Structure 1
Amino acid sequence: MTGYLTTHVLDTARGCPAEGLTIELYRIDGDTRSKLKTLVTNDDGRTDEQILPAEEFAPGEYELIFYAGSYLDATGTPPEDPRFLDVIPIRFGMSEPSHYHVPLLLSPFGYSTYRGS
C-alpha cells in the first residue's frame, strides 16, 4: 500500500462543508518546521488534490494549520475581538505507508479531529 494524506473540513455550526478554508502543511523534524504547501478547501470541504500524495509521502511528524478565523469571517460569522478560534494547528505522526485522513469538524467555539478513513 502507498501512503498519502487527505482532509475534510465540516462546518458543524452551519451544517455544511467548509468551502474556502485555507490549510497549510508542514513537516516537523526536531525543532525544524518546513512548510510543504498551502491548499484551499473546495465546495465539498476537501482539497482538490491529496494534501500529501503518494509520490511525496514519507513517514514522520507533520502539522496541518487550518485558518478557521478567516473562514469564519468570510461566512459572516459574527466577529469577536479576538476570535475564540483563529488558527487551528493539528500535529500528528504518520508511521506507515497507508492512507491518513485528518478531518476537522469546526464551529466558532469548538473543533474536533480524529484519524479518519
Structure 2
Amino acid sequence: MEGKLTTHVLDLSKGLPAKEIKIDLWRLGDQEERSLIKTVFTNGDGRVDSPLLRGEEMNPGEYELVFHVGEYLSQEPLNAAAQLPFLNKVPIRFGIGSQEEHYHVPLLVAPGGYSTYRGS
C-alpha cells in the first residue's frame, strides 16, 4: 500500500469547508531547522487537490503544516475590524513513521480557536 499525507480545513463557525486557505508543508531537521517542501491552497471542498506527499516522498520524520487562516477569518464582518487577528498562522507538528500509512491532518477552525486530530 502506498502511503500518503492529506489534509482538509473545516470552518466550525459556518459548518462549511474553508476555501482558499494557504498551507505550507515543512520538513523539520534534527536541530528543528525547517525546509519548505511545498505550498498549496484548499479548494471549494476545503481539501487540497492531491496528496501533499505520497509513496517515496513519505520519508519518516517530523513535519509541520502551517495553515494561513488569518486572511480567511478576517473576511467575516465581525473579524474584519480587528487590527490583529487572534488566529493568523496555525502550525501543526506531527511525525510520519511509515511510507505505507495514510496520514490525514485536518484542521477545524473558528475565529476563537482550532482543533486537529489524526484522521483517516
Same fold (TM over 0.5): yes
Q: What residue is the counterpart of 1:17 in the other structure?
A: 17
CA–CA distance in structure 1, aligned partners of residues 7 and 98 of structure 2: 18
Matches within 5 A, 1:1-117: 1-31=1-31, 32-76=33-77, 78-79=79-80, 80-97=82-99, 98-117=101-120
Q: Which amino acid aligns with 2:48?
A: T
Q: How many pairs align?
A: 117
Check 1:18–1:29 CA distance in 2 against 1; reply closer, same or farther (3 A cut). Answer: same
Contact (CA 8 Å) 2:79, 2:85: kept in 1 or not? no
Moved >6 Å (runs of 4+): none
Question: Unpaired segments of 5 or more residues in structure 2?
Answer: none
* Percent identity between the two aligned chains: 52
Taking structure 2 as the reference length, the TM-score comes to 0.91
CA–CA distance in structure 1, aligned partners of residues 46 and 91 of structure 2: 17
Residue 76 of structure 1: how far off its partner (Å) = 4.8
- SS of 2:73 mapped into structure 1: helix
Taking structure 1 as the reference length, the TM-score comes to 0.93
Higher mean C-alpha deviation, range 53-62 or range 95-104 = 53-62
Check 1:59–1:11 CA distance in 2 against 1; reply closer, same or farther (3 A cut). Answer: same
Check 1:107–1:23 CA distance in 2 against 1; reply closer, same or farther (3 A cut). Answer: same
Q: Deviations over 1:31-71 (max 9, x none)?
A: 22000000000000000111112242111100000001011
- SS of 1:116 mapped into structure 2: coil
Check 1:57–1:75 CA distance in 2 against 1; reply closer, same or farther (3 A cut). Answer: farther
- SS of 2:44 mapped into structure 1: coil
Contact (CA 8 Å) 2:58, 2:98: kept in 1 or not? no
